Amino acid sequence: DAGVTQSPTHLIKTRGQQVTLRCSPKSGHDTVSWYQQALGQGPQFIFQYYEEEERQRGNFPDRFSGHQFPNYSSELNVNALLLGDSALYLCASSLVLAGEETQYFGPGTRLLVL
């Protein structure tokens, strides 16, 4: 049973560029969440997708957008990259069962903005 997968593993961009990160959820999961983790900090919630719609959103600007596909995979798009967007981007998938939900994380994509 494959866990959560993310691509690419590493990425280097320059300021002002746009980036797309991809995530495939754990088999059987229908919900995908995205997090940004700066060095030395805990993960910060960006948004969550369920049934192809954004369900919850953290305190991130509109430059951060996403999409969920019918097969539950997801993309995170960041426009007009800033140096401060350099971070580890984590995807987590989950499934709600009897009111309980557990998020399982992927390995992350390390983004460096120069």
Partner 1 sequence: LAKTTQPISMDSYEGQEVNITCSHNNIATNDYITWYQQFPSQGPRFIIQGYKTKVTNEVASLFIPADRKSSTLSLPRVSLSDTAVYYCLVALSGGSYIPTFGRGTSLIVHP
Q: Under the rule (CB under 8 A), what is the footprint of partner 1?
A: 4, 31, 33, 35, 40-45, 48, 50, 55-58, 88, 90, 92, 94, 96, 99-108, 110
Nearest residue to 103 via CA among 45, 43, 31: 31
Least Cβ distance, residue 16 to partner 1 (angstroms): 26
Least Cβ distance, residue 66 to partner 1 (angstroms): 15
Rounded-to-integer distance, Cα 30 and Cα 12, Å: 30
- Which residue number, 53 or 62, has a Cβ lying nearer to partner 1? 53
Least Cβ distance, residue 17 to partner 1 (angstroms): 23
In terms of phi and psi (left: phi > 0; alpha: psi -120 to 50; beta: otherwise), the region of 28 is left
Which residues, including other chains, have CB under 8 Å from residue 98's CB and lie 6 or more apart?
none
Least Cβ distance, residue 69 to partner 1 (angstroms): 19
Other residues' Cβ atoms within 10 Å of the Cβ of residue 90: 25
- Which residue number, 16 or 87, has a Cβ lying nearer to partner 1? 87
